[in-house]
Every structure is written in structure tokens, then in C-alpha cells.
Chain A
Amino acid sequence: MIDALKQWTERLLGRGDAAITVPVLDGALRSNRLIEDAEVVAQLDAPEDLASDGHSLFVADGARVLRVDGAGAHTAEHTFDRTVSALACLPGGGIAVALGGSEVRVLGGPHNGRRFDAAGGRRLNAVNALAATAGARLLASDGSQTHPPERWKHDVMELGRSGRLVELDLADGGTRERAAGLGYAFGVAAVGDDAAWVCESWRHRVVQFGGASSGRTVVDALPGYPSRLARAQGGGWWLTCFTLRTQLVEFVLREPVFRKRMLKEIDPQYWIAPALTSGNTYLEPMQGAHLKTMGVVKPWAPPRSYGLVVRLDDEGLIRYSLHSRFDGKHHGIVAAVERDGWLYLLAKGPRRLLRLSIAAAQASLAAS
């Protein structure tokens, strides 16, 4: 009763959970065009994840795993009967792939052929990121128990809180559920002996599980929806955010009746919801502020889709960020890998593999 009264008051006054506010892109999150200006390495069909073994770059593209060279030429390394939803290179050799979100399979290396379709007594449902640990174990973020990976938009609009972090032992086939009830687990990294960072996309944060500070929020109040984490050379992490939060979406998320009706009656691509790409049809919902003035798209307009990569240090502090703004095309960045001074990015919106020189990006940011 008191809770209901509190909720009603907050809705009336626009406070607390009903405050339709979003964090601002300032400080180290100040916008730029570095992702938009990145070089296009390859145009792909259905890119999903990136991984590197230190020598080669692998891309999950639909049901295939491609090996890509620096010039963008690619060859299919593996082909499956289902979409590859996550990819990781294993330290002892071989790769691990998640297929359709419901199965994790190891190919090559000492654990070749190992398969997992459940963990902690529950079936895998939406595995979207894998990270190898030092001790022949694999961490997997299982986004949702209710929707497969391709229906992530349904999960966010239903305020899904069924994500989990699971650990898969490659040596003996054992599994363990490390955390559950996550607001869409999307992205995982092994950061220490037993510690892992997990991105909670719908809560806009990165949380640590295990280690000395288990349960600590490493990065909070992100202005976007975080996705995968990748190790940065020289310490720290690359965190990709597949789009930005907007007041309009935040508002819709707080309007259950409208939201339920929208989910029931409207085609998902026209929902007022986070998107990986936009500007493709006039049927897309408009937001506050004009999108175009005299035929020119305003880069600062509230975005339907956006490209954002955040550079974190070892403590999770944001050092700088790379952007493709609303007037750009390189949106929906879902994965990043650093190799030989280059940062490779997967832009799921335009289905492109991009790369940019990290030294040049840092020089550009230092000058601005």
C-alpha cells in the first residue's frame, strides 16, 4: 500500500523512479566523430561479435566465423547451422562460440568438442558474450531467460531482469551460476583470479562479481546501453555501448499501459525503443527536437541510434570515449578488439567492421 502510494506520488511529481532524466555526455564522454570517421574494413552480412588470438581477427557473421586480415579480406573458418551469438579465443588455442544463444561449443585446442547447453541447472538461452579465464574456464553472459538474443528489444521493453552470469569449466564440463536477476547481462570480462565484470545493459552499468569487491558497481549511470568488454593493451578496458538512452525511451519504459499496447500492436522496428540503426524509413518514431533542418540532420538531436565506445581504466574510471553521433551511420557498436595499435569495432547497425588508429584518436582528443 505504501509502495503504491509512493509510486503514485513519484509519477505525479516526476521524481524518483518516475524522473525522466538521462545522464549527459560530458567530461570524458564528450562527443566527437571518431567512430564515424573510422576506416571501413569490411561490409558484412550479420555481424555479431569479434575476437582476436593475438595474430588473427575473427568475426562472428551470421552462422559463420570469419578470419579477417588487415585489408578486410575474409575467409570462413567455421560454418554452423545457427547464428553465432558470441565468440571468444581461448588462451590455450581454439575458439569458443555460442550458437543461437543456447549452446556454447569449443572448437580446436585442448578442449575441442566440449559443449554446454545448460548452467546452474537452467538452460542457456541468450548467451551473448564469452570470456576465457586463466584457469581453463569460460565466463558467459546469458542475457535473458525469457527471450533469445535476437529478441533483445522485447526484453528491454518488458524490463527484463532475468540475465545471469555463468561459469563453464572447460576441463571437467562443470557449470556454475555466478549471478542471476541481471538487467540483461551483455558483456563479460575476467578481471582477476575469481573476479568478473558484467555489463547490465538495462541498468546502464557494469558490476563486479567475485574477488574482493564482489557486488561493486564498477561503472554507473552510463548514458548508453553497455554491451561487450574487451581488454585494452597497456591496461584498462574497451566498453561498447550499442546505443544511447533518451528521455523518450525512458518515458515509454515508465508507461506500462502504452508499452504493452505498443508491444502488442506495432511492428518491433517501429517501436519507441533503443535501436541499432535509424533513418531508414519515415515510419520510425520521431523524438523531441527536429531531426532535420533544411535537409541537414542535427548531430546533437536526441538519437534513435548511436555509436559509442568508452575507454575505461583498470578501476573502471572513464578515460575517454569515441562516438558516431546522430547524423552518422556507424551506429550500434557491439564489440571491440584492440590489435597492433588499431581498434577494431563491429557496427551492427550498418553491418560494418571498422578500425581506427588508437594513437591518432588520442592525439585528436588531446587537441580538443
Chain B
Amino acid sequence: MSAVAPILALRKATKKYAGVPAIEDVDFELLPGEVHAIVGENGAGKSTLTKVMAGVVNLTSGDMLIEGRIVDARTPTEARDLGIAMVFQETSLVPTMTVAQNLYLGRERYFNRLRGIYIAAQQFMQSLQFDVDPTAVVSRLGAAQKQMVEIARAVLHNAKVIIFDEPTASLTPEEKKYFFDLIANLKKRGVSVIFISHALEEALQVSDRITILRDGKHVVTDETRRFDRARIVQAMVGRDLSQTLYGQRKTSVRAQGRRVLSVQNLRMAAMVKNNSLSVFAGQVTGVFGLVGSGRTETFKVVAGIAKRDFMHGGEVLLNGRPVRYFVPASAVRDGIVYVTEERKIEGFFETKSVADNIYLGLLAKLRGQRTLVSKSEAAAVGEHWIKRLNIRAISKDVKAIELSGGNQQKVVIAKSLIQEPELIIFDEPTRGVDVGAITEIHQLINRLADEGKAVVVISSYLPEVMSLSDRILVQRMGKVVEEFSALEATEEKIMYAAIH
């Protein structure tokens, strides 16, 4: 406990989603006028913790205190009234409105004089030394300027606490420098800042204190000067949970088969930069990287979901043959399937039954070869895969939305496997999946590799990558920067490669 009374505190904060804790018994204190960095792996609970503070999600148990007083911010508006504002990674500004209109959104009177709003906004922005034209339409602003408008809006609402979620992810180096000046400016004004970042050097550079979360639990909070990069990384990845969930370290790896996929100098806008990698038959290739490292985008290009750069976009070779897919169906016909990380959006039709969803996978593979849909075939296919993947559904006719996360994921996997792929790309295969289903999905992934399939597992969770993969590719800033054999990889080595 510090001598200065915290402006915001959480006591034994727990938030559970469907019984699975995203954060558990977390104690957190934010001091007046401090910049506090929250650091942790993907899924460590950083975003949930800050969303609790900002009223976006509500605690399952525990308390939130503002200036020593227990409060209950159940909506972002209530949190804002308590002086807490959050600047999201994707800005919450209305793109078609002007800067001034966005600033005063939600504070309108019955009659608003537009000129008055512009003059007030101009004066306010100048007082913050923000060089943004209040009459400019937000959609035309750069990322840094949008951040400025978000910050200005937070200050205008008398925020005493401003939370930034990955604020620098989309900024250029110059914009980052400007952003750090803004943080210093806010600090001078007595505003407390919470700062989530994957870039450890940024946390070390701008924060006064650092809190590290791991697996939804508080690990350590200390003054920034007491941390160095190695201590942060160690605290981020050293865990007990991984041992119980993911077992012992690998002692052998599968032999490399023929090269199924060769990605050469792939480019896709700013997300994938000259990326090259290979995937081999009979192996699980793990791909690790922090959010924004371009892992998903690379493999979405491979699977025909996203498109590489139109000019000089590099090459994708499947079994030595150059391929370029404009739609996923073409990739599916060639034996490539992508098991999405966004299963609820891209993975299945939530109002369709389990059997129908799986059958749709087969129809996608047989496009043009079936003119009639067979209900009996759909039922048979559903029965077969429910049994094969141990999908725990009351019947094949139950709607996908009614299943648990783990079983929904199995439906998505079944829908892909029915297409008899040669290359299977799993993107975050166990995100939001209960522990029992995680084990089953891992067994399935291993079985596919043992059968000689080329398997890719994209995961932000290091123990998962390490327990599944025969070789591990680490991506950073749009390209593979390091490759490890599973035998030599350690969490520290992988994390170091992902960050540096």
C-alpha cells in the first residue's frame, strides 16, 4: 500500500465469462497524477481489467473504489460521470462528424449554435496545445490526431483517469513521440493515466509504475525504475497454470515432411511486410506473435480470405505451385482450410443446427457438384462428426449458438475437416474454450499432424504454442523474425524474439 491515497482502486476484482475467469482476485491501485502501465500476454486480462474501470463490463465480484469510496460504474456513461474515460484502440469517434461535434457529442443542448461549438472547441484544443482543426471531419484525420480528439474529449469531460488501450499500435514513430508528449502534458495537469501496451520499451519509457498480469491474476506492481525488460518478460510468462494445462516440455518433435506451403516475400498493406515462411507435412507449425504482428493476416492471404498487395505482393506456393486465391472456396478446393479466431462472426451460422453447419462445410468443398441439398446426408454428416469430435450437444439439431464455446469451436473445426484439407490453419484454436475442450482440441491437432497433414497453429498463448508445435515461428512487425525447434524453445526466448 502506498502513502498517497489512490484515486482509483480495485479490491479482489473478479470477472468471469460463462464461469471462466478473465480476471480473478486482482488488486490494483492508481495514484493521482501517475502514469501506470499494465503489461501482460494476450489474454492476461489487461483489457478486461480496464474495461471494468471504464464501466464497459461489470465485476462478477470485488469492489471498485474512487478516492476511497466504493462505486458501481455499470455503464461507460456512469464511469465518465465518475471521472474515468477510456480511449480504445479503435477510436469511438463518429467519423462523419467534425472534431468539434465529436467533442460535444452527448453534451448537446436543445439549441446548439454550431459556430459557438467551433469557437469553444478551438479554445479548448489550444489550451491542450493540440494542433487539430475543430472543423475537420474526423474520417480525414490521421491516427495521432484522432487520439488527440479522444484525449481532448476525455479531458473535456473532466476525466481524472484516462485509460489508453494499445494507444501506439497504429501510430508512426513521429506520432508516438507526440503522443508521449501528450501523456506528459496530462500528467502535469494532474490526470492519472493507465496505459496498456505490448511494447515494453514504451512502458519502461513513459510510466511511473508497472503492473503485470498473467492468466487473469495480478503478478506484481512496482515502480518502473525497479524493472528492466528481462524482469518484465519473466513476470509475464512464468506461470504455474501452464504446467497443469499443457503438461511437460516436449522431448521429441515430428520429422519434417515435404514442403506443403511456401510463402515468399508476402506483402499486405502495413500488416504483412516481406514475410517468408514454410509449412511442412506431418508437423505442427506454431506461429506466435503479439497482436498486430501480422500472423492472422498472413494466413488469411494464404486461405484466400484477404488479398495480398496488388503489385509486388510476393508469392504463395502450394506444393510448389504458385497460387492466388480471390475467395476462400478456391483455397478449400485446393485443400487449405482456415479455422477462424472469430468463430461467432466468421465460423458458423449461429441459428443453424450443428449438423447444418457441418454440412455447409461439405457443400462449400463440393461447390458446383451438388444441385440438391440432402437433409438425410446432412443428418448423417452431423451424427458422424458429433461422434468423431465428441461434440457435446443434446442432438445434431441443436442450434450452434446454444453450445458452449468449446463445442462451438469443435463445430467450426468439423466444418473445416469435412473438407478433407491438406493444410489446416488454426487461428487461436482455444480462445474462449473451457479447459476440457482445450485438451480435446489439442489432441485433435496432434492427431492431424500424425496423419501427415500440414498443421499451422496461430496462438497468442505461449504454453499452447510450445506444447503443440514441432517448430515455432515468431512474427513481429509483419514478418517472421525467428524460428525455434520445440526442443530448444523457452517462453523467454520466444517472448524476447516477439518483442525485440
Residues of A at the B interface (CB closer than 8 Å) are 12-16, 19-24, 26-28, 30, 217, 220-221, 247, 317-319, 366-368
Contacts and interface: CB of A to CB of B under 8 A. Distances in A.
B320 A221 contact: yes
20 contacts: A14-B311, A14-B312, A14-B313, A15-B313, A15-B324, A19-B265, A20-B265, A23-B262, A23-B276, A24-B277, A26-B278, A26-B471, A26-B473, A26-B483, A27-B259, A27-B280, A28-B256, A217-B320, A317-B258, A366-B487
A221 B322 contact: no
B278 A27 contact: yes
A15 B471 CA distance: 30
Contact of B257 (A23, A217, A317): A317
A170 to B, nearest CB: 36
B262 A27 contact: no
Contacts of B312: 13-14, 19-20
B202 to A, nearest CB: 25
A27 B471 contact: yes
B315 interface: yes
- Give the interface centre of B259, B263, B320, B485 by most chain A CB atoms within 10 Å: B259
B250 to A, nearest CB: 13
Contacts of B320: 217, 220-221
Contact of B322 (A16, A20, A23, A26): A16
Given A19-B315, A30-B483, A367-B488, A13 B310 contact: yes
Nearest to A366: B487
Contacts of B310: 13
Contacts of B255: 319
Contact of B262 (A217, A221, A318, A367): A221
B264 interface: yes
A19 B317 CA distance: 12
Contacts of A22: 264-265, 276
Given A21-B314, A221-B317, A221-B320, A247 B278 contact: no
A368 B488 contact: yes
Given A16-B322, A317-B257, A23 B280 contact: no
A318 B258 CA distance: 8
A317 B265 contact: no
Contacts, number: 70
A368 B486 CA distance: 9
SS of A interface (majority): loop
A24 B481 CA distance: 12
Q: 7 closest A-B pairs (Cβ-Cβ)?
A: A14-B312, A21-B264, A24-B276, A21-B265, A220-B320, A21-B315, A19-B315
A12 B312 CA distance: 9
Contacts of A26: 276-278, 471, 473, 480, 483
Provide the main secondary structure of the chain B interface.
Answer: strand
Interface string B170-188: 0000000000000000000
Q: How large is the interface on B (under 10, 10 to 19, 20 to 34, 35 or more residues)?
A: 20 to 34
A206 to B, nearest CB: 13
Nearest to A315: B258
Contacts of B473: 26
A318 B324 CA distance: 26
B314 A221 contact: no
Given A13-B310, A221-B259, A221-B320, A24 B315 contact: no
A296 B314 CA distance: 30
Most buried by B among A26, A220, A319: A26
Interface centre among B255, B278, B324, B488 (most CB of A within 10 A): B278
Nearest to B279: A27
A229 B220 CA distance: 58
A368 B262 CA distance: 23
B473 to A, nearest CB: 7
Interface string B461-493: 000000000010100000010010101100000
Contacts of A21: 264-265, 276, 314-315
Contacts of A14: 311-313
Given A13-B312, A14-B311, A24 B488 contact: no
B278 A13 contact: no
Nearest to A17: B322
A27 B143 CA distance: 38
A220 B265 CA distance: 18
A126 B265 CA distance: 35
B264 A23 contact: yes
Interface in B183-214: none
Contacts of B264: 19, 21-24
B256 A12 contact: no
Interface string B272-283: 000011101000
Nearest to B320: A220
Contacts of A12: 311
A221 to B, nearest CB: 6
Given A27-B280, A247-B265, A318-B256, 18 more contacts: A15-B313, A19-B264, A19-B265, A19-B314, A19-B322, A21-B264, A21-B265, A23-B264, A23-B278, A24-B262, A24-B264, A26-B276, A26-B483, A28-B256, A30-B483, A221-B259, A368-B485, A368-B488
Given A217-B320, A221-B317, A27 B487 contact: no
A319 B276 CA distance: 20
A30 B310 CA distance: 30
